[in-house]
């Protein structure tokens, strides 16, 4: 009775090939799938590979898309950091020395002494200890900036509210090249005469 109950339970799931599910030697059969011992045909393998490729292709496309998105956000974040560095330096410069730098702007690498990036740092009292954005002193940063051609420019407008009450509205523009496109980030800073 027990084997009969088990056979009846599996009856809808297993092809019987002419055997009755209630027969006693149902589970003793060596070939439950109609006794065929054939392999996969070439057509079945090709179809299964095509289905596998169709499933994997969108996933691989997502990796490429996400890689480009990460690169874009990295470059934009870097441009924001450069613009903030310039804006902080504008407040330390003498008011009369804040002048426009027209587009396409100054290159950050190997550029002239500008008070923003060249020299980048100087912890000594003389120019011998100045750290500049050059291939010799900062090779990783230099290569990154050269790869995307990061530049900066300043658009300066003088605003006067009366004698001694002046300020400069400075547009800080960071430009770079990415994927064949010229991109820019713009930030506006108001620098008062103190």
For residue 58, tell me if it sits in a domain.
Answer: no
For residue range 4-34, list pLDDT tens digits in order. Answer: 655 555 555 555 555 555 555 555 555 455 5
Q: How many angstroms from the chain centroid is the CA of residue 47? A: 36
Residue 170 has pLDDT above 80, yes or no: yes
Residues 6+ apart with CB under 8 A from 187: 80, 83, 84, 87, 171, 172
For 137, residues 6+ apart whose C-beta sits below 8 A from its C-beta are 131
Say if residues 166 and 194 touch (Cβ distance below 8 Å): no
Q: Are residues 97 and 147 in the same domain?
A: yes
**DSSP assignment of 69-84, as one string?**
HHHHHHHHHHHHHHHH
Say what the pLDDT of residue 37 is. 57
Are the C-beta atoms of 116 and 98 separated by less than 8 Å?
Answer: no
163 token code pair: 């004698």
Residue 109, Cβ density class (10 Å: 0-12 exposed, 13-18 middle, ≥19 buried): buried
Same-domain check for residues 114 and 164: yes
Better-scored residue on pLDDT, 61 or 2: 61
In a domain, 59, yes or no: no
Give me the mean pLDDT over the 63-80 stretch.
90
Query: In which domain, by residue range, is 159 found?
Result: 73-192
Domain contains 64: no
pLDDT of residue 155: 95
Decide if 157 is inside a domain: yes
pLDDT in tens, 83-94: 999 999 999 888
Say how many domains are in the chain. 2
Predicted local distance difference test score (pLDDT) of residue 164:
76
Same domain, 187 and 97: yes
CB 187 within 8 A of CB 171: yes
Separation in Å, CA 121 to CA 47, 52, 131, 140, 153: 63, 55, 5, 16, 20
pLDDT over 70 percentage in the chain = 80
Backbone angles phi, psi at 180, to 5 degrees: 80, 5
Q: What is the pTM of this model?
A: 0.66
- Cα–Cα distance between 18 and 31 in angstroms, integer? 13
User: 51 in a domain, yes or no?
Assistant: no
Is the residue at 13 inside a domain?
Answer: yes
What pLDDT, on a 0 to 100 scale, did the predictor assign at position 49? 93
Is the per-residue pLDDT at 143 higher than 80?
Answer: yes
Residue 113 DSSP one-character state: P
Whether residue 106 sits in one domain with residue 21 = no
Average pLDDT value for residue range 37-42:
74
């Amino acid at each position: 009775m027990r084997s009969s109950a088990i056979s009846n339970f599996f009856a809808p799931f297993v092809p019987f090939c002419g055997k009755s599910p209630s027969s006693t030697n149902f589970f003793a059969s060596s070939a439950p799938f109609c006794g065929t011992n054939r392999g996969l045909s070439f057509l079945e393998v090709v179809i299964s590979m095509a289905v596998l490729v169709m499933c994997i292709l969108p996933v691989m496309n997502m990796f490429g898309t996400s890689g480009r998105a990460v690169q874009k956000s990295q470059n934009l974040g870097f441009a924001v950091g450069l613009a903030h560095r310039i804006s902080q330096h504008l407040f330390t410069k003498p008011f009369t020395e804040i002048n426009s730098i027209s587009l396409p702007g100054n290159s950050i690498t190997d550029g002239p002494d500008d008070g923003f990036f060249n020299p980048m740092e100087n912890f000594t009292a003389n120019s011998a200890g100045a750290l500049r954005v050059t291939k010799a002193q900062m090779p990783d940063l230099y290569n990154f900036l050269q790869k995307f051609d990061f530049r900066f420019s300043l658009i300066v407008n003088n605003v006067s509210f009366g004698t001694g009450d002046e300020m400069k509205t400075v547009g800080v523009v960071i430009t770079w090249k990415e994927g064949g496109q010229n991109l820019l980030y713009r930030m506006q800073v108001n620098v008062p005469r103190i």
